[in-house]
A and B are shown apart, each in its own frame.
Chain A
Amino acid sequence: MTTLPEAGAVRIVAANAAAQAAGVDPGLSLTDARAILPSLKVVEADAAADRACLDGMLAWARRYTPWIAIEGVDERGGAGLWLDVTGCAHLFGDERALIEDFEVRLNRFGFISRFGVADTPGAAWAAAHCMASQGDPAIVPSREERVHLAHLPMAALRLSAQNLETLKRLGVSTISDLLALPRAPLTRRFGSEVCLRLDQLTGRVDEPLSPEAERLPYVARVNFAEPIGRTEDVEAALLDLLQSLCTRLEKDRKGIRRLAFEVFRVDNTADRINIGTAKAVRRPEHLFRLFREKLDRLDAGFGIEFLMLTVTATDTMESEQDGIQSLGCSDVSNVANPGRDLTLLVDRLESRLGAGRVVRPHKRESHIPERAVGLIPALGLKTQEALAGYAREAALLHGDIGSLRPGSRPIQLLPKPEPVNPMPVEPNTPLVRAVPLPGFSWRRRMYCLAAAEGPERIAGTWWRGALPPDRSGEEHSYFTLCEDGGAIREYWRVESETGARFWLFYMPYPLQRDHTSHEQRWFLHGLFA
């Protein structure tokens, strides 16, 4: 049973046979229904899911007729399928055989169905809703609607709730009652609706069905009379296929995100090349260049029999105007709307180098140096979102993110801080220019310090507990030490005698788990310009 809130009360939209047998009918409020049947199982109505289910059923039911449409989906559900079986029923024997076939198959899918067949859509609707029951389709013989449907209640007429109520109060309860009434006063009283529905039922007014357009998958294929083997031939055929696909996609205002190119050889073997794009693309030349990087490794074998191109992912894409960008007035550095050449370049680089290799550094809000920058894909929706999100954050914090003093961060940051050995302090030698240590050795080389600036104290994120491991899966030992609260680093900018500048840090509370005999306190984290 499904429900929908309406006018302050949750009302029942649909109920199964067992519930209806117990007296729970659509239109009842949920509290009343619960009073009647406490064991009710309630689900909220989901019109979108209903629609999706009907769409699927519609695509499937094309086996019976190409002229097929969905019948009135509104927010209350209560929908069905229209099938125009004119000229199709004989393929299954007759109408009854067709319906039996349909019903058996639907049953196997787990659907309960009711069928009505008649000359007009209106009569078929009335038959399906008010005459048929499960497993017993109502078939109205041709031109006998008036005879067969006369006894049906007014609900069979697809009238609005208001008109239905008024007719009921007037004592008009069946279609024969209505047919007996004069038409002119009826129209004056109820508007055109009642007469129109009546005429649609009897066939006096035509009611056309507009069938849903068939959605074909985006596949293009080409067969060769003789097997081909030359790369030039494959390229030419591929370009043709791409062109035909792109024309189709343009009509549907879609662009390609992923594409598979399959090659079938005469000896029943196949090969496949996949490409992906950072942004929806619809230009054959662009896609062709992405494929050409990979066509070299294609082996023609004994010859290629046919080629197939399948679009595996699409995005909506509005049609674009040619020419403006080639005039040189494009805003090239705009991420939201990158130039066409840049999109092509990123796609080509990614298709050859692999995913995740063409990136942008992306600042994150973190005071821990190694976490302040991440990598995001160079182009695409995600990138736009990330950049927009960062701009928003920065605006909220009034530029707090970028408030580091220029020159206070090294141009190169080592992925992992490297331990350095401090030079022993000789007694009675005053340290020059307030350096914290006279020198250090790093990567088997000594550096004597001439000047220093610091310390800048950076504490771990004790409030976050253990940080998740890096994306590479490699656990950062310096991240994990943040959890025990002892991860305070004191950063020094130091300059050696030759002028090289380093970013060193000192840990006042070194790690307990360090297995080396002496405590490691000094690390090198970056290099300044």
Chain B
Amino acid sequence: MQDISRHRPKLDDLRNRIGSIEGLPRAADAVISMGLEAIDQALPWGGLPLSCLHHVVGEADALPPSAFASSATAFVATLAARLKGRGTVLWCLPRYKAADALYGVALAMLGLEEEDLILVRAKDESEALWAMEEGLCCSDVGVVIGSLSAPLNLTAERRLQLAAERGETTGFLLQPGASVSSSSAAVTRWRVAAAPSAAPLWTGLGPPRWSLALDRCRQGTPHSWIVEWCDETSDLRLATPLCDRSINSVSAAA
């Protein structure tokens, strides 16, 4: 095996060129911190890149409560609340499913107040997709979230990704993780599931925990974390400092 370290500058240059052809975000582009240094460092851009599409899926389980993907919903809502300074947040959801369950009081607690948020209650998924694309092209919109139940085909995802680039908006595809296609046009794919929380010192419930996994990441490597969600400050913290394992070892352990 040849030593590739001397080729690294060349390889990096090649990667950048391919990335710019593919329309991938460069490190210099706008990013937003995930609120946790360990996660930011795992992303090749030093944070979550804006002006592109991200895929967030729930637990790999079709039965409730996974069908509601509550943890993934809260995860996306938190990120959107961080981005609300860039424009209105447009949340497109087919109105017949878990969509109607979205609770405004809790969203406001996460920082998505009513003046920041517009809900689009579409008749079906195709209408929701259309609304998402329209929203992504709109310059006054900062974040577009689409709650969908079926996986999208690659063309539809690519369309959304292009629209996000064109409109300089950030898109989140939110999906309960029942069936997720392996290929995706999104820049990152996150898997968010609830994890058992630590027992508090006294009675009651401790802060909720999520198992957060970066499943796919262009130009990056998968990671997973167990994070604790602090509802007072809308902050994440690592549940234990030793949790930063690669995804392979986690799946091997499971």
A joins B in a complex: yes
CA A450 – CA B205 in complex, angstroms?
10
- Chain A nearest CB from B189 CB (Å) reads 19
CA A125 – CA B101 in complex, angstroms?
71
Instruction: Indicate the member of A375, A406, A434 with the most B CB atoms within 10 Å.
Output: A406
Binds B, one of A180-188, A356-364, A508-516: A356-364
B42 interface residue (CB < 8 Å to A): no
CA A500 – CA B98 in complex, angstroms?
16
- Chain A nearest CB from B57 CB (Å) reads 15
B contact residues around A402 at 8 Å (CB): 108
Whether B134 contacts A495 by the Cβ 8 Å rule is: no
- Chain A nearest CB from B53 CB (Å) reads 18
B118 interface residue (CB < 8 Å to A): yes
Whether B109 contacts A407 by the Cβ 8 Å rule is: yes
- Chain B nearest CB from A456 CB (Å) reads 12
| CB closest chain-A residue, reference B192 | A529
Chain A interface residue count: which class? 35 or more
B contact residues around A257 at 8 Å (CB): none
Given A360-B117, A361-B119, A443-B63 in contact, is the A404-B88 Cβ separation under 8 Å? no
Binds B, one of A19-27, A307-315, A334-342: A334-342
CA A102 – CA B22 in complex, angstroms?
79
A451 interface residue (CB < 8 Å to B): yes
Whether A411 contacts B119 by the Cβ 8 Å rule is: no
- Chain B nearest CB from A432 CB (Å) reads 10
Whether A411 contacts B203 by the Cβ 8 Å rule is: no
Whether B120 contacts A434 by the Cβ 8 Å rule is: no
- Chain B nearest CB from A524 CB (Å) reads 9
| Cβ-defined partner of A352 (8 Å) among B104, B130, B140, B195 | B130
- Chain B nearest CB from A436 CB (Å) reads 12
- Chain B nearest CB from A337 CB (Å) reads 11
Whether B205 contacts A412 by the Cβ 8 Å rule is: no
CA A244 – CA B106 in complex, angstroms?
48
Given A360-B118, A529-B71 in contact, is the A500-B65 Cβ separation under 8 Å? yes
CA A515 – CA B39 in complex, angstroms?
53
B contact residues around A443 at 8 Å (CB): 63-64
| CB closest chain-B residue, reference A374 | B104
Given A360-B114, A378-B118 in contact, is the A453-B204 Cβ separation under 8 Å? yes
CA A330 – CA B75 in complex, angstroms?
28
Given A341-B138, A433-B199 in contact, is the A353-B120 Cβ separation under 8 Å? yes
A contact residues around B118 at 8 Å (CB): 346, 358-360, 378
B135 interface residue (CB < 8 Å to A): yes
Whether B194 contacts A357 by the Cβ 8 Å rule is: no
Whether A342 contacts B88 by the Cβ 8 Å rule is: yes
Given A357-B121, A359-B121, A501-B194 in contact, is the A411-B74 Cβ separation under 8 Å? yes
- Number of residues of chain B lying within 8 A (CB) of chain A: 65
A contact residues around B65 at 8 Å (CB): 500, 502, 527
Whether B104 contacts A414 by the Cβ 8 Å rule is: no
CA A508 – CA B142 in complex, angstroms?
46
Main secondary structure of the interface of A (DSSP, over half): mixed
CA A348 – CA B110 in complex, angstroms?
29
Main secondary structure of the interface of B (DSSP, over half): mixed
Whether B134 contacts A353 by the Cβ 8 Å rule is: no
B contact residues around A485 at 8 Å (CB): none
CA A82 – CA B208 in complex, angstroms?
80
Whether A411 contacts B134 by the Cβ 8 Å rule is: no
A contact residues around B135 at 8 Å (CB): 345
Whether A361 contacts B107 by the Cβ 8 Å rule is: yes
A contact residues around B105 at 8 Å (CB): 363, 369, 372-373, 404, 409
B contact residues around A164 at 8 Å (CB): none
CA A339 – CA B123 in complex, angstroms?
26
Whether A333 contacts B68 by the Cβ 8 Å rule is: no
Whether B194 contacts A500 by the Cβ 8 Å rule is: yes
Whether B70 contacts A361 by the Cβ 8 Å rule is: no
- Chain A nearest CB from B35 CB (Å) reads 15
A297 interface residue (CB < 8 Å to B): no
Given A346-B118, A373-B103, A387-B114 in contact, is the A528-B139 Cβ separation under 8 Å? no
Instruction: List chain B positions with a Cβ less than 8 A from chain A.
Output: 63-65, 68, 70-71, 73-75, 77, 84-88, 90, 95, 98, 100-110, 114-123, 127, 130-131, 134-135, 138-142, 193-197, 199, 203-206, 208-210, 229, 231-232
Q: Known pairs A357-B121, A369-B103, A407-B232; list 9 more (Cβ under 8 Å).
A: A333-B116, A341-B140, A342-B141, A353-B131, A361-B117, A387-B114, A495-B196, A502-B65, A529-B194
The 8 closest A-B pairs by CB, nearest first: A361-B104, A529-B74, A407-B231, A339-B140, A342-B140, A373-B104, A499-B194, A413-B103
Q: What are 28 A-to-B residue pairs whose CB atoms are below 8 Å?
A: A332-B86, A332-B88, A332-B140, A332-B142, A333-B116, A342-B140, A349-B134, A358-B121, A362-B104, A407-B231, A409-B103, A410-B103, A411-B77, A411-B102, A412-B70, A412-B106, A413-B101, A415-B101, A452-B205, A453-B204, A497-B196, A499-B197, A501-B194, A501-B208, A526-B101, A528-B208, A529-B71, A529-B74
